[in-house]
Amino acid sequence: MAAVRRICATAGKTSVSGFLGTSKIATSTEWRPLTCWIHATRTSSSQFRTSFQGSKLKIPAELQPAVREWNRLVNRFSQRWRYSSLGRLPGGGGYARPDVALWTLIGANVSVFFLWKVFDPVFMTEHFTISMHNVLSGRLHTLVTNFFSHNEFWHLASNLLGLYFFGTEIAYRFGSKRLYMIYFAGGLVSSFGHLAYSYYIYPWLKGLRHSTFVARFVPPALGASGAINALVVLNIMLNPTRVILVDFLFPVPAALFGAYMILKDLWGVSDVASTISHVGHLGGAVVGAVAWVRLRRHW
């Protein structure tokens, strides 16, 4: 763009080379409207066309091939910058390419899984699970570390499949920054949901009085299910008529699959014997729905 500005500022008869190819133009007086436009424009071929259509300046026939080449180069540059590691997407883009952001989350989950195989389980339970005992003991980092933590392969595999298939579209459609925001928001709400379940819902379901109940003894929770549920619900609300292959075999409309997920977790909340944090799943789903409402305002 700086090269184009230097060319535009040149007075008298000259030739335009570089981005615009090589073409003769008449005088600096005829070139001035185009010079003003180039200084004010953003790199958008649609704005390029609109600027000329809305002005009285007509593109000379000999410049039209160069303008078309300019549009092509601008579009190519814009796409490369949009997904470059340094580029930032307008209105909530990212600090990394969408694929890099997605694989960073996958790599973090896989790394913590291997930590479970190396370190003492007591240490991992204290630092990579969410529970009232951990929070009351001052280990507040577990509010985050738990939604990167899996100690069983199938739990990890199922969550990462959901993250990959549902997170990919979110990352490329809204940028890596929003992918991170939705993932972390879903995980945090899921963590607080499990704490609320431990302190309020669990003793109520058990018929215990708060004066005699110790929330520290409620089993801890771990896993990225809440964070990934946020991405799944957002994706489903964006594409409710899309067909999803459940278990890679059964075609189901996305809206029906989403309703089944929500109802299953609502029903599971009352099962005190369950080893699944259904409240955590629902917390992630709420984040996905809120993200859908907020993103719709910017369409």
Annotated catalytic sites, by residue?
225, 281
What's the chain's Rg over C-alpha atoms?
A: 27
Residue of 154, 144, 152 whose CA lies nearest to 105: 144
* Maximum Cα–Cα distance across the chain: 92
- DSSP for 98-122, written as a single string: HHHHHHHHHHHHHHHHHHHHHS-HH
Q: How far apart are CA 55 and CA 238, in angstroms?
A: 39
For the record, the structure tokens of 246 come out as 């459940």
Tell me phi and psi for residue 13, to 5 degrees: -75, 135
| Residue 71: other Cβ atoms inside 10 A | 15
Cβ-proximal residues to 253 (8 Å cutoff; 6+ apart), any chain: 240, 241, 242, 243, 244
Kindly report the CA angle at 103 between 98 and 104, in degrees rounded to 5?
Answer: 95
Provide the CB-side half-sphere exposure for 182 (13 A, CA).
37
Kindly report the CA angle at 179 between 256 and 155, in degrees rounded to 5?
Answer: 60
Q: How far apart are CA 222 and CA 191, in angstroms?
A: 9
Q: How far apart are CA 154 and CA 168, in angstroms?
A: 21
Q: How far apart are CA 123 and CA 121, in angstroms?
A: 5
